[in-house]
Amino acid sequence: LSVEENIMATHTVDRASAHEILPQFTARWSSRAFAPTALDEAQLFRVLEAARWAPSGSNTQPWRFVYALRGTPEFARFLELMVPFNRSWAAHAGALVALVSTDTLPDGRPHPSHAFDAGAAWMSLALQAHAMGLHAHAIGGYDRTAAPAALGLPAGFAPQVLIALGHPGDPAALPAELLTRERPSDRKPLSDLVFRGSFAPAQAG
């Protein structure tokens, strides 16, 4: 597709919801086009505040947030954790946030839902960012072995995702290989995801 066709495609992906929901859920998507301007700390804290109020198992709140603002030495350190593809576009973000969680309960037992709970916090963060006109894009493609030391994580804390956060940029400024991906992604139909009473998948043979 040409650049123009790709920009058009951004607006023609069918994200019509099959059942009526709040517009925030389909309007939000994971863009890679960031304006290379720093994010105000005040804006960052609003985004993290939303995450803070997420529910969690026994209200344990296992999430923690380590951040780097654009233009600081730590920003480069966060970027270096990413695989090159993600680094190429996340380099333009206004802030990078490492969402980490504690895998241990206060009583020392393993936390059964720390990753799940961290995911709830991420969703709140993403929706608040969207409401503020910001882009938030979670990145799973990073060096999970190197991340704990690079982020200064104490024992018992596990990295979940790196989040690129910032003001929207012009998609036309993206390199071609990124521009082709610069559109809201589709989803499986609800009928593939929902089962009444029992999962009971089609048994082969």
Other Cβ atoms closer than 10 A to 75? 20
**Residue 148 amino acid letter:** P
Among 6, 31, 33, 67, binds a second copy (CB under 8 A): 67
Range 120-179, binding a second copy (CB under 8 A): 120-124, 126-128, 131, 138, 140, 144, 151-154, 157, 160-161
Other Cβ atoms closer than 10 A to 34? 27
Q: Under the criterion CB under 8 A, does residue 107 sit at the interface with a second copy?
A: no
The binding track of 2-41 with respect to a second copy, each residue x by CB under 8 A or -, is: -------------x-xxxxxx--xx-xxx-----------
Other Cβ atoms closer than 10 A to 115? 13
Range 73-102, binding a second copy (CB under 8 A): 73-74, 77, 100
Radius of gyration of the chain measured on its C-alpha atoms: 19
Closer by beta carbon to a second copy, 175 or else 194: 194
Other Cβ atoms closer than 10 A to 65? 17
Closer by beta carbon to a second copy, 132 or else 173: 132
Burial of 155 (0-12, 13-18, 19+ CB in 10 A): exposed
Among 108, 110, 201, 205, binds a second copy (CB under 8 A): 201
Cβ 114 to a second copy shortest distance, Å: 8
Closer by beta carbon to a second copy, 2 or else 59: 59
Q: Are 17 and 189 in contact (CB under 8 A)?
A: no
Q: Under the criterion CB under 8 A, does residue 204 sit at the interface with a second copy?
A: no
